Amino acid sequence: MTRAIGFGIDKLPRIVGGDGSYLFDADGRRYLDGSGGPAAFCIGHANREVNAAIAAQLEQVACAYRYLFTTDALEQLTQLILSRTGGESAKVLYCGSGSEAVESALKVTLQYWHARGLPQKRRFISRERSYHGNTLGALSMSGFPERRTPFEGSLLDVSFVSAANAYRPAFAAPPRELVAVLANELEKRIQQIGPERVAGFIFEPVVGAAGGVVPAPPGYVAAVRAICDRYDVVLIADEVMCGVGRCGTWRALEHEGIEADITTFAKGLAGGYIPLGATVVSRAISETIVAREGAIMTGHTYSGHSAACAAGLAVQRIIEREKLRERVATAGPGLMSALQEALGQFEEVGDIRGRGFFLGIEFVRDRTTREPFPAARGLSHEIGRRAFENGLICYPCAGNVGAGTGDTIIIAPPFNATDTELAELVDKLAMSVGQVLRP
């Protein structure tokens, strides 16, 4: 039997349709998509405008090979992305997934140092409890033992520093000292490896699946930006899950007013209508590579796929026209408050955190000590499964504390979910949590 990773379902229902925030299976059941699948379906399902844009592109040409042609869809989407990713961005590299986007970021970083005559800069630093993708390079950057273990021995040699988690602070640091402690750890790690050998530092501004939505504490991004500048290290922001409006701004790093050297996007870029990812490279890096080596050496047969770019352009135009980023920014705090009110009755709810329509709920055995439930309990999966039975899709995650322990649920509804749908989400989640915790 097929077993779903997130829910532990033995037999998957057969999906037959979608409409906005809802999906429908062959048995007539309706599901409210409270997590956008894996935080991807940002404008819901079966949007006619997006489908029409894809069909129109297919009528012209499905895919124009990027080394021979350009298309209106690709050029217009590129201009849109560059207009929203900061003044230092200059190059957009397209691919088919977040994993590929991260892989491209790593390759661009290495080629940049080669172009500068510093080929010895080959080591990357990442963080514990992070997830950057499923290809071997991206997985190497991921501090996610549950997904790494079967592939150990074939992964890149990457150094890890502590997660930036205010609820579970590294070294038990007091809140006011946490950023300084984390920055000091990163600086010492660069010094230990040797700045002349460190190529880049990669991080998620808001950690997704590996942590259960963990925003970096205030001041953290500015601190790591300063350290990377001091030691000539490329700063890579992985916004595959948290970017493209999910946190209420197009870039998650806009909250900190900081730009990374390389940023990765996917998921919400084309809203799940056609697979699409992008790696956005700063002017300094792209111009250095092109000037000295002629071209950036990364890409795939279907990079810049015409129909995928048409889908992405349509999704982003809808988000812009309907002011959906603004909706996420204004409705997000209300959604968090509603979750806090509905779930506050359960002592097992230790923390509710996040930004915009990207929220995480962490369950603990003891709210005072923050002791997690035993891994064997499988609490987050049980809640996810019960919610699914109740007609709500959420995103259960486990292992964020370590050694397999830690239970979180991610909530990431479509940006255009109505107030009524958000209320239904909260009600069904609270009911499901109660059924599991108070049977």
CA 292 – CA 77 distance, rounded (Å): 27
Domain limit, last residue, from 303, 321, 339: 321
- Examine residue 413 and state whether it is found in any structural domain, yes or no: yes
Whether residues 82 and 183 fall in one domain: yes
Q: How confident is the model at residue 405 (pLDDT cuts 50, 70, 90)?
A: very high
CA 258 – CA 183 distance, rounded (Å): 16
- Examine residue 272 and state whether it is found in any structural domain, yes or no: yes
Mean of the pLDDT values across residues 379-383? 97
Q: Which CATH number characterizes residue 177's domain?
A: 3.40.640.10
pLDDT digits (tens, 9 = 90+) for 346-373: 999 999 999 999 999 999 999 999 999 9
Domain limit, last residue, from 321, 348, 363: 321
Whether residues 364 and 403 fall in one domain: yes
pLDDT at 436: 98
CA 277 – CA 42 distance, rounded (Å): 14
pLDDT digits (tens, 9 = 90+) for 129-150: 999 999 999 999 999 999 999 9
Domain limit, last residue, from 270, 296, 321: 321
- Examine residue 40 and state whether it is found in any structural domain, yes or no: no
Whether residues 270 and 304 fall in one domain: yes
- Examine residue 112 and state whether it is found in any structural domain, yes or no: yes
Are 131 and 142 contacting, i.e. CB atoms less than 8 angstroms apart? yes
Whether residues 316 and 429 fall in one domain: no
pLDDT at 5: 46
Mean of the pLDDT values across residues 102-115? 98
- Mean pLDDT rounded to a whole number for the chain: 96
Domain region containing 227: 50-321
Q: Is the pLDDT of residue 4 over 70?
A: no
Whether residues 386 and 261 fall in one domain: no
Q: How confident is the model at residue 8 (pLDDT cuts 50, 70, 90)?
A: low
pLDDT digits (tens, 9 = 90+) for 388-398: 999 999 999 99
- Examine residue 312 and state whether it is found in any structural domain, yes or no: yes
Whether residues 310 and 373 fall in one domain: no
Are 208 and 131 contacting, i.e. CB atoms less than 8 angstroms apart? yes
Please give the tally of structural domains in the chain: 2
Q: How confident is the model at residue 1 (pLDDT cuts 50, 70, 90)?
A: very low
CA 89 – CA 341 distance, rounded (Å): 41
Q: What is the CA radius of gyration of the chain?
A: 21
Whether residues 327 and 314 fall in one domain: no
Q: What SS3 class is residue 192?
A: helix
Mean of the pLDDT values across residues 383-392? 97
Whether residues 300 and 166 fall in one domain: yes
